[in-house]
Amino acid sequence: MVTEEKKEEILERLKQAVINYDEDSAKEAAKEALEIGVDAADAIFNGLVKGMEEVGRLFEAQEYFVPELLMCADALYAGLDILKPHMKKLDLGVKGSVVIGTVEGDVHDIGKNIVKMMFDVAGFTVYDLGRDVPLDKFVEEQLRTDSDLVCLSAMMTTTMVGMKTVIDKLKAKNPNVRIMIGGAPVSQDIAEKWGADGYAKDASNALKDAINMISSLRKMRDEAEAKRAQ
Amino acid sequence: MRQRQRGLSESLREELLRNGASVVGFADVTDALKGDIAHLRMAVSIGVNRNLNGETITVLSNLQKRVIRCLRSWGYRYLCIPPDSDRQNGSFISRLYPLFTHKIAATSSGIGWIGKNGLLISFEYGPRLSLATVLTDAPLVPDRPIEFSQCGSCSLCRDYCPSKAITGNEWSRNNPYIELVRKTPCNMYKKRIRATKGKPNCGLCINICPYGRKNFSGQQCGEINLQADGLAG
């Protein structure tokens, strides 16, 4: 049985590995966590994600810039790849599958990738269509996978208008689907006008939103566990 | 303070040279940095002689790890730009690699200049260095940059280029974007020999460069000339 002290140490190491963008020590700590029997979900949420929350704070405070943010994300993925296969499926009453991509004509996908990462962490099934995705492909993929969420990203005003077409088509085929849009030219106004359900301005905001989402997810998980313990 | 900077720079340089680097240079690359990477203004340029062995890439990536270890223990930020031929991974950070080229770090830190063949040339190793760069905010002491091409009147690479792609123009720091190699004929030629001979690359402008060649003599030019004819035919 793993002692509380040892567990705390491992979680701290996972957190620090993400903050210090140290892929090697993220891998090492993740392996050790599994070896000594730390719960994988615990290691992800209270180790890796805690680290990413701190990174989000550093980024907002302009201590960290885009390169650090990206390297931290790489370190998180390095740990996640090892831990995820051992994580039990979360039962939150949501199906948790999402289609994500950057719309036709646009090749800027760093923000999209960061949002995707957060879905990965949260245990969603992510269907990543990549960048420069033909508009109809979003609709097709949503129908094929029956996903409850579609995330669209665009970095340019010229490609942004494609998102409206996708939203209309998606809503026509399936009124229940939730749509999130993001990217530099998008605003809350546009999101509302076009009928999107959610909006994130750029990589840092998407990160913040995604972190909020995961934090609340963690809260729900803790509550569910507390209920079970009673 | 100055003393400490010098100390850091020299201990880093020694560590790298001791562990397989052929050349190491430090450069202030503030002018070459844009946007997202602008806060990492110093570059550590590492060159490894390709003739040493077939594991140049492994040596380079181990050297980069050493740099990281030093910088981290000193409490500085870093961003590794791996060798150009080692970039197939799909990581997040790999998307930023194209923002910076190794040649800028190498010329700015005095390792060499850009030759008529468009490649980095060093006095000692010629165009036979494989390069890697680590950007950092550590206050390293920059080396003296190279301002002008040192090719002089030599135009072997232009004369023997099988696709006649080399213009013969000379690089200088004032005029870094002058056209040295015409991309189209060079690429077309490489494509053709890939298809007909199964060779991955041409490389004649590397082999013929007299800088860094052992026992270079005029006779070797003739041999290369014959090979070139053979290839072209």
Low-confidence ranges of chain A (pLDDT < 50): 91, 93
List pLDDT tens digits, range B57-83: 889 989 999 999 999 999 999 999 998
With cut-offs at 50, 70 and 90, classify the pLDDT of residue B233.
very low
In this predicted structure, what is the pLDDT of residue A14?
95
In this predicted structure, what is the pLDDT of residue B10?
93
- CA A134, CA A104: separation in Å to the nearest integer? 5
Q: Dump the DSSP string for B51-96.
A: TS-TTHHHHHHHHHHHHHHHHHHHT--EEEE--TTS-----SGGGG
Q: Are A86 and A34 in contact (CB under 8 A)?
A: yes
In this predicted structure, what is the pLDDT of residue A13?
95
Query: Predicted ipTM?
Result: 0.77
Encode B16-41: b = buried (16+ Cβ within 10 Å), e = exposed: beeebbbbbbbbbbeebbeebbebbb
Contact B36 A73 (CB under 8 A): no
B17-21, B92-96, B224-228, B229-233: least confidently modelled range: B229-233
- CA A117, CA B157: separation in Å to the nearest integer? 48
The DSSP output letter for B30 is G
**Closest residue, chain A, to B37 (C-alpha):** A67
In this predicted structure, what is the pLDDT of residue B193?
87
Q: Are B136 and B77 in contact (CB under 8 A)?
A: yes
Mean pLDDT on B172-195: 90
Distances (CA, A) of B103 to A104, A194, B194: 34, 47, 26
Residue where the block lists tokens 């990477």:
B37
More confident residue, B213 or A208: B213
Q: Hey, of A19, A69, A70, A204, which one would you mutate to test binding to chain B, going by the most B CBs within 10 A of its CB?
A: A70
For the sheet containing B129-136, what is the strand order?
B23-28, B42-49, B129-136, B78-81
In this predicted structure, what is the pLDDT of residue B230?
47
Considering CB atoms only, which of B39, B93, B95 is closest to A65? B39
Considering CB atoms only, which of B37, B39, B92 is closest to A74? B92
In this predicted structure, what is the pLDDT of residue A203?
55
**pLDDT higher than 70, residue B21:** yes
In this predicted structure, what is the pLDDT of residue A177?
80
Task: Report the candidate in A72, A126, A73, A120 with the shortest Cα–Cα distance to residue A97.
Answer: A126
pLDDT above 90 as % of chain B: 55
Q: Are B106 and B131 in contact (CB under 8 A)?
A: yes
In this predicted structure, what is the pLDDT of residue B4?
83
In this predicted structure, what is the pLDDT of residue A149?
82
List pLDDT tens digits, range B98-156: 888 899 999 999 999 999 999 999 989 999 999 999 999 999 999 999 999 999 889 99
Encode B158-188: b = buried (16+ Cβ within 10 Å), e = exposed: bebbbbebbeeebbeeeeeeeebbeeeebee
With cut-offs at 50, 70 and 90, classify the pLDDT of residue B226.
very low
The alpha-carbon gap from B37 to the nearest alpha carbon of chain A, in Å, equals 7
Strand partners, A182: A153, A200
Q: Are B81 and B133 in contact (CB under 8 A)?
A: yes
- Kind of pairing, strands A198-200 and A178-182? parallel
How many beta-carbon contacts under 8 Å exist across A and B? 34
In this predicted structure, what is the pLDDT of residue A93?
46
**pLDDT higher than 50, residue B232:** no
**pLDDT higher than 80, residue B89:** no
Task: Report the candidate in A102, A96, A79, A95 with the shortest Cα–Cα distance to residue A33.
Answer: A79
In this predicted structure, what is the pLDDT of residue B229?
47
Contact B36 A74 (CB under 8 A): no
- CA B107, CA B146: separation in Å to the nearest integer? 6
Considering CB atoms only, which of A22, A67, A74 is closest to B36? A67
Mean pLDDT on B22-49: 89
**Closest residue, chain A, to B69 (C-alpha):** A22
